[in-house]
């Protein structure tokens, strides 16, 4: 957050000297309006000049609005001519403003932030100011406090509800904007081609996926394989709460080098000089990738994660395990409450959230049961919150005599596609690999035939 210093809002600052506004956010929206023709219509149809707190920013927005209506070219000379005597800070400030432009910024998030800041400012200079004065007065009665809190609540609700209601024409435009975005946005899947062929949305921005399964089924290894497949093209945040970041990096190193994980972790002294060099090279390559960030905090909360996703732009955020977040109460009600919060976070930040979830072991008689949506219902609203749900199962874990270790990746749910599909891969836990697609695998076949 930056103070309003340097922006011409002297009258407004005199109301509350301590009020601060995210000036960079206002600058980013204006810079995007100038630089991105693709985003111009979306911004102009969702933003009004009055929503900018900085007076200079309101003036700049009005100039740009005039230029768009007159279909003028968005260049510096034309801008200055249209601005006339308006206070826009001159060319120097205009150049500074353009530095805030981010090519891949989530403009919907920044517009929402703009509207939130404006509402906070109006409340801060109006009913909130009155409430603060009332709270510090010895003369005010409870009924007056009730009136003021109701007034604040009404203002917030009125602003929020009005902006969430769209006419058919507006909804048509929003849909076509989204439709056009699909033409220029690549599909993001798991990187496992046979599985991705069956996915419709994949890891779509603003949605939630779940990797579920009982213990020892390979959930974290599946996550590691997906991260490995996507790290060149997607900006990812990995929250490895269950085992810690170092363990996850061990898995990635094992996967990329083919060196046995047990040797890498436990018998390090047995590594040859060649293997050691290969490991060091691979670690440098992996961790120099700017697309990959780690949040290594065993006390991480969903609230803290929400702040991180709002402050920085990520395509995908992985959390292993969701139930280990310290503000998630491990009860069906606790999971449900936080899953709905996560749903809101995903939509607000347009980040895809991928949660690893460990299902209950079950009773002895049903321990061999494959994961089902019915089984997920015992631990909260996973079925309702998840847009895409995977279930992992390895029969060899329960039947060691089987020749092949096959990891069944089930699509238990996808909102806009076919579900209840099983995609089998050879599983090699020693090098953390979901390997070749098993073409001759028949789901449900008598296990004695293997």
Note down pLDDT in tens along the chain; length 450 residues: 334 344 444 444 444 455 677 889 999 999 999 999 888 988 998 899 999 998 999 999 999 999 999 999 888 889 989 998 888 888 888 889 999 999 888 888 899 889 988 888 888 878 888 888 888 888 888 878 888 887 777 777 766 655 555 567 767 766 776 677 666 678 999 999 999 999 999 999 999 999 999 999 999 999 999 999 999 999 999 999 988 899 999 999 999 999 999 999 999 999 999 999 999 999 999 999 999 999 988 899 998 898 899 888 899 999 998 989 999 988 888 889 999 999 999 998 899 999 999 987 655 455 557 899 888 877 778 989 999 999 999 999 999 999 999 999 999 999 988 999 999 999 999 999 999 999 988 765 544 443
Q: Which CATH architecture has domain 10-125?
A: Orthogonal Bundle (1.10)
Beta strands in 113-252 (DSSP E): 208-213, 236-240
Q: Does domain 193-449 have CATH number 3.40.50.300?
A: yes
- Determine the pLDDT at residue 90: 83
| 358-365 contacts at long range (C-beta below 8 A, 24 or more positions apart) | 358/212, 358/213, 358/214, 358/215, 358/219, 358/321, 358/323, 359/212, 359/213, 359/214, 360/214, 361/214, 361/215, 362/214
User: Helices then strands (H, E): number in the chain?
Assistant: 20, 9
The token pair that represents 434 in the structure block: 């979901």
Sheet of 236-240: strand order equals 292-294, 236-240, 316-320, 352-358, 208-213, 388-394, 406-414, 421-428, 433-437
| Closest alpha carbon to 344 in 219, 207, 205, 234 | 207
- Determine the pLDDT at residue 311: 80
Helix (H) or strand (E) holding 435: strand 433-437
State the residue for tokens 């949660």.
355
Instruction: Say how many C-beta atoms besides its own lie within 10 A of residue 55's C-beta.
Output: 17
CB 407 within 8 A of CB 218: yes
- Determine the pLDDT at residue 159: 66
- Determine the pLDDT at residue 13: 42
Helix (H) or strand (E) holding 158: helix 142-164
- Determine the pLDDT at residue 445: 53
Domain with CATH 1.10.860.10 in the chain: 10-125
- Determine the pLDDT at residue 381: 87
CB 76 within 8 A of CB 91: yes
- Determine the pLDDT at residue 242: 85
How far apart are the C-alpha atoms of 334 and 41, rounded to whole Å? 41
Q: Which residues contact 296 (CB under 8 A, 6 or more apart)?
A: 240, 244, 245
Instruction: Give bridge partners of residue 424 from the DSSP assignment.
Output: 408
Instruction: Say how many C-beta atoms besides its own lie within 10 A of residue 418's C-beta.
Output: 10
Domain with CATH 3.40.50.300 in the chain: 193-449
- Determine the pLDDT at residue 134: 85
The token pair that represents 382 in the structure block: 């996973």
| Closest alpha carbon to 359 in 373, 338, 375 | 375
The token pair that represents 194 in the structure block: 């046979």
Phi, psi for residue 21 in degrees, rounded to 5: -130, 150
This model's pTM is above 0.85 = no
């Amino acid at each position: 957050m930056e103070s309003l210093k340097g922006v011409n809002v002297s009258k407004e600052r005199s109301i509350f000297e301590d009020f601060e506004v995210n000036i960079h956010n206002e600058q980013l929206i204006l810079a995007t309006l100038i630089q991105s023709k693709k985003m111009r219509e979306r911004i102009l149809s969702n933003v009004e000049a009055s929503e900018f707190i900085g007076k200079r920013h309101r003036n700049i927005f009005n100039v740009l609005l005039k230029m768009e209506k007159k279909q003028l070219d968005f260049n510096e000379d034309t801008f200055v001519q249209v601005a006339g005597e308006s206070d826009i800070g001159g060319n120097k400030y205009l150049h500074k403003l353009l530095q805030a432009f981010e090519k891949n910024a989530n403009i919907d998030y920044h517009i929402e932030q703009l509207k939130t800041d404006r509402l906070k400012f109006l409340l801060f200079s109006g009913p909130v100011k009155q409430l603060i004065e009332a709270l510090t007065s010895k003369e005010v009665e409870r009924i007056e406090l009730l009136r003021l809190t109701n007034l604040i609540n009404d203002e917030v609700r009125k602003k929020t509800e009005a902006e969430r209601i769209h006419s058919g024409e507006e909804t048509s435009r929003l849909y076509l904007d989204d439709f056009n975005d699909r033409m220029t946005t690549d599909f993001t899947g798991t990187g496992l081609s046979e599985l991705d062929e069956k996915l419709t949305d994949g890891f779509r921005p603003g949605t939630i996926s779940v990797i579920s399964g009982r213990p020892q089924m390979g959930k974290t290894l599946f996550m590691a394989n997906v991260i490995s497949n996507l790290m060149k093209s997607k900006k990812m945040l990995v929250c490895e709460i269950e085992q810690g970041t170092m363990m996850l990096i061990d898995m990635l190193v094992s996967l990329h080098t083919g060196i046995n994980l047990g040797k890498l972790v436990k018998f390090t002294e047995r590594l040859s000089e060649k293997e050691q060099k290969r490991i060091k090279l691979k670690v440098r390559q992996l961790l120099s990738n700017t697309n990959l960030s780690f949040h290594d905090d065993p006390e991480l909360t969903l609230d803290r994660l929400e702040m991180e996703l709002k402050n920085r732009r990520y395509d995908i955020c992985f959390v292993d395990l969701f139930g280990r977040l310290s503000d998630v109460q491990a009860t069906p009600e606790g999971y449900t409450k936080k899953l709905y919060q996560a749903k809101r976070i995903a939509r607000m930040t347009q980040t895809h959230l991928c949660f690893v979830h460990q299902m209950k072991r079950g009773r002895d008689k049903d321990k061999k049961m494959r994961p089902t949506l019915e089984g997920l219902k015992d631990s909260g609203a996973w079925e309702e919150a998840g847009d895409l749900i995977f279930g992992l199962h390895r029969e060899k874990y329960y039947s060691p005599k089987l020749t092949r270790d096959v990891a069944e990746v089930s699509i238990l749910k996808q909102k806009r596609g076919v579900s209840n599909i099983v995609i089998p891969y050879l599983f090699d836990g020693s090098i953390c690999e979901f390997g070749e697609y098993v073409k001759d695998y028949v789901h449900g076949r008598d296990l004695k035939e293997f």
